[in-house]
Amino acid sequence: MKQPHPARRSVGFRHPVWSCYAPQILGGIVDFMREHELWRLATENDLFGEMEAVKLDHDWHGDGLILFRATEEELAAFRQRGQAVVLTSTEGPDLGFPRVVTDNAMIGRLAAEHLIECSVGHFAFLARGETYYREEQFAPGHRRYSRERLGGFRTKLAEYGAEPVVHYLKGRPLWKAQTWREIETEVMAFLDTLPSPCGLFVADDPLGAVALRAADRLGRKVPADLAVIGFGDDAVCCYATWPALSSIAYPGREVGRKAAELLWRQMNGETSLSGRIEIPVGKVIARESSDTLAIADPDVRDLVRHIRLTAPHDSLRVSELAERSNLSMTTIKARFSSLLGHGPKQEIQRVRLRHLQHLLSHTELSLAVIARDMNFGSAHELSRFFLIETGMRPTEYRESLGNHSTASKPAAVQAVVFDMDGTLFDTEKLYYEAYRRALENQGGILEKEVYFQHHAGTTNAAIEAKFAEHFGPDFDLARFRADWHEAWKSLVGRKALKPLPGIQEALELLTEAGVPLAIASSSDRVDIDLCLQASGLAPWFRVIASGDEVEESKPAPEIYQLACRRLGVEPSDCLAIEDTQHGVDAALSAGMRVIKVGEVPDQSREGLLFAGSLDRIERSQWAELLAGSPELRPRAS
């Protein structure tokens, strides 16, 4: 007798029709299925009766779903039914389900490298700041991916002493007939302010196509005046304009494979899968919109790109070019002379001189520092090179700039670690109320002053142990723990948890600066996740260190040390944001600098700054803090 085939599990895949990534992601999903387990795939479609029309929403009852984005209502329904879910967008809620997304910071770095190769003198970034949709599943609102891509773009440009001009488009209802015209007009106004030649990184290809059309209407020559690169390698957008748009390829097949793997693991019983998996990108598709080289010889084109990326930081020799290309030095010199009108040595010197002039415009940089960064043997060697090339000494060149130079310092802060309770949210009051109710159930009393003076900022386990010791053998610890947890969840779940003033703006600004963010909270991990999901802040944080993961709670430094290890950054290179004395002591003991929000602390302690509240720190002051400024002067209320 034949054995019946086991029933295939049913998996739904939902991706918006306006995105070109769906076929690539589906290909990766099918790759995984072929190697592990065949599923019955369901996709939303409307093929005019040729296939069953499927709707993948909160009423769909399959085994798992791979979704671009989803609403909280949908995710809650899937969670309640025990369905596995993986999301493939940076935006929108996740309710603790995992995400598989592109490495947005890496996208920004690749865009910067490509535009640096184009040898432009200025840089700009264009993205959507806020997007309006009628469909809740598309997560209308501010865009994190734009800020993450800008962060990577800025970080790479900073290595070359450059800073981009940034513009976020205003939010508009995309379903209205004339919205496209308003967007194009706004993009034209932005492009009209940019100097020439300029390298423009546009956050995605659809907006990149808009930028190219706007440039055409303005009469800006692309790529001579404006070199443009987008992201996604969306063929419709990249070839819908002339010149064709350069782009960074979306790693769709890898995203699909990883999403399928995480879904499969969930369906097979793994329950600890959450957070965000980032898929690296690695391929720039160069087209006419950024082809400033316009060199037909592929060997020479590769060498020129190598010079433009490397020469600002290293005194290349022509012999190194020969080793890189397998061409003889004689052949290289002849081809350079034929195609560029000068030899490879002159191209190296031209690139180094241009970068040196840029660094000299930053008057806070000493000649010794510039010489070290550009790999000159000494400041004297730098000065001699500059004099030979320009007929001026570096000091004379700086004097000729007058007051037009700008200051830019490399960031000294490599990561920022936030406390949660009382720093991100005013949750300490909720904890107090939960503990108070739980004690009241056993006839105990908890005064507010006692809680905030002796317990705020310490772990739940430490607080429970203190209460058990204080109330003696008749105290039912298990009941107390269950009661306060129930009260806590009820209090948090009543309404969306609102971040404290200045938090949202700080998270956006730090992400735009390419600074990794983490949380070091004495709360248990389950409570941290609950708060981050209720507030919508979860996607901002790369790392979480919780009180139930360490032996000693704040004021011991262990939890901050754990956060720094997970970030891969030394504590001395991190900035902590705290609101309690216990937290301040913990961060300082770990060797971090600290911004204390709330009541005025002992300001004589080294490494401790006072902000009152984060909304009183201006953008320029954040820049100074990230550059290692030892002072903070909050603006007046």
d(CA 210, CA 217): 11
* DSSP bridge partners of 124: 165, 200
- Structure tokens belonging to residue 185: 């007009």
Backbone angles phi and psi of 247, in degrees to 5: -155, 165
User: 344-360 and 318-325 are packed helices; what angle lies between their axes, rounded to 10 degrees?
Assistant: 120
> Catalytic residues, which ones?
419
Q: If phi over 0 gives left and psi between -120 and 50 gives alpha, with beta otherwise, what is residue 172?
A: beta
| Angle ∠(306,302,305) on CA atoms, nearest 5 | 40
The candidate with the shortest Cα–Cα distance to 276, out of 564, 517, 76, is 517
Query: Greatest CA separation found in the chain?
Result: 95
User: 252-267 and 22-35 are packed helices; what angle lies between their axes, rounded to 10 degrees?
Assistant: 50
Compute how many other C-beta atoms are within 10 angstroms of the C-beta atom of residue 588: 21
Burial class of residue 444 (count of CB atoms within 10 Å of its CB; 0-12, 13-18, 19+): middle
Helices (H), 391-454: 394-401, 428-440, 448-454
- Structure tokens belonging to residue 628: 């290692």
Compute how many other C-beta atoms are within 10 angstroms of the C-beta atom of residue 323: 10
| Angle ∠(280,238,307) on CA atoms, nearest 5 | 60
The secondary element (H helix, E strand) that includes residue 559 is helix 558-567
d(CA 158, CA 167): 18
Q: How many CA atoms lie within 13 A of 330 on its CB side?
A: 0
d(CA 573, CA 44): 48
Beta carbons of 230 and 204 less than 8 angstroms apart: yes
Burial class of residue 47 (count of CB atoms within 10 Å of its CB; 0-12, 13-18, 19+): exposed
Residues in CB range of 445: below 8 A, 6 or more apart: 439
Tell the residue number behind the tokens 């909720």, with chain if given: 430
What is the SS3 assignment for 278?
strand
- Structure tokens belonging to residue 482: 């269950």
